[in-house]
Amino acid sequence: MTELEIEQENKAIAKEYKELLRISYQTLSEEDKKLIRKAFDVAVDAHKDQRRKSGEAYIFHPIAVAKIVASEIGLGATSIAAALMHDVVEDTEITVEDIEKMFNPKVAQLVEGLTKIAQVQKDMNVSMQAENFRKMLLTLNDDVRVILIKLADRLHNMQTMESMVDYKQTKIASETLYIYAPLAHRLGLYNIKSQLEDLGLKYTEPQVYNDIVSKIKETKEEQDEYIKTISDVLKESLNAEGIDYVIKGRPKSIYSIRRKMKAQNVSYDEVYDKFALRIVYNCNPHDEKFIAWKIYSIVTDHYRPSPSRLRDWISSPKSTGYEALHITVMGPKGRWVEVQVRSERMDEIAEKGYAAHYKYKQGATSLDFAFSIHSAVGVHTRGTRVNGKLVPLNHELKSGDQVEIITSPNQKPTSHW
């Protein structure tokens, strides 16, 4: 590389780093910024002689992973630092012990967990990897942030696979659809799950993927006009009720359209709900359910609903924590349209999944955590270990705690819970 090219690359690296800080700036203390800067410096030095298949400096990858961790998952400084150094132990001379000395045990534990997963990937076939991941989730001995950072790592790798040979693209994409997308779904990361599925389809069924992308582009103008027609009708009534809201129209994911085409044995044009309208409202937490049903009433006053397709995940949230009302109505031109109704809180949990739950639940206890995994886990909880120590069920959790739930089939809920 010429001196000019090196200078330009260094400027590009600095720009990406500044963007990472900008994304997470509001939530960072001065100590957090120092931690992230130190991790960045260690990663830059460790990867200084490495390049990706595309030819770009390797450091662009960990910065991109850290940006996903901060913006799309909403994790804090410890996770951002670990994301910046997630390949350092695997690819360089630096050890986990070195990281613990330079930083702290929490950062070192996350990097060690990520290194273990990298070894699992190398040493096992896809079905064995899946089983290993399931075990990691079920035991909960490993900090779940390891899995979240790994999902960010996989997403960026999927976004930048163009330079790989075909058979490797297919292998990684298949692995993504089989392991990582379901994992993102289980943790409530719907946005990341959709991106992983779409990118997986891009490399496993490129012709199908490109055909659907072309059709979406061809119909975008007409679809935008259709969404505007419905939105304008609803806005008038929502404004009259004094509701604070935004309406978003969005196409369904390419993968979900493909799944419907296969399941129903129909063409793209015959898939009837290729996009959804989302109404996200802001209100007092105590009024969330009331406002959701008020919006339902407004929507169904204007458009005829399909009662069999009503999904009330506010009264009974999904096991992933997802909450929303999904209404399917007959829109203009005799077309079925899905309308999703969520509060801002529900919307953030839907986008950021697991990481967003505790933002809205200060003082969450070990028992809350057990129920957040699944109600069946909660009701059979006999005890909990936090950071390796047995604690009462009402023990308040702090961000970053490692929680192990001890269950018994004979345990039943008691009144003092």
Residue numbers annotated as active site: 90-91
* Token digits of residue 192: 């990341």
Q: Which of helix, strand or coil describes residue 29?
A: coil
Strand partners, 365: 396
Contacts of 110 (CB under 8 A, 6+ apart): 78, 79, 82, 143, 145, 146, 149
d(C-alpha 118, C-alpha 106), whole Å: 19
d(C-alpha 179, C-alpha 117), whole Å: 12
d(C-alpha 347, C-alpha 238), whole Å: 18
Q: For 51, which DSSP code? A: B
Q: Long-range contacts of range 167-174, CB-CB < 8 Å, 24 or more positions apart? A: 169/203, 170/203, 170/204, 172/203, 173/199, 173/200, 173/201, 173/202, 173/203, 173/204, 174/126, 174/200, 174/204
d(C-alpha 311, C-alpha 326), whole Å: 5
Q: For 252, which DSSP code? A: P
* Token digits of residue 286: 């105590």
| Among 212, 299, 298, 319, CA closest to 256 | 212
Decide if 146 contacts 175 (C-beta within 8 A): no
Q: How do 336-343 and 275-282 pair as beta strands?
A: parallel
Contacts of 243 (CB under 8 A, 6+ apart): 281, 283, 291, 294, 295
* Token digits of residue 83: 């994301």
Q: What are phi and psi of 142, to 5 degrees?
A: -85, 140
The alpha carbon dihedral of 130, 131, 136, 140 has a sign of positive
**What's the CA dihedral at 405, 321, 182, 246 to 10 degrees?**
-160
d(C-alpha 386, C-alpha 394), whole Å: 12
Cβ atoms within 10 Å of 2's Cβ, excluding its own: 7
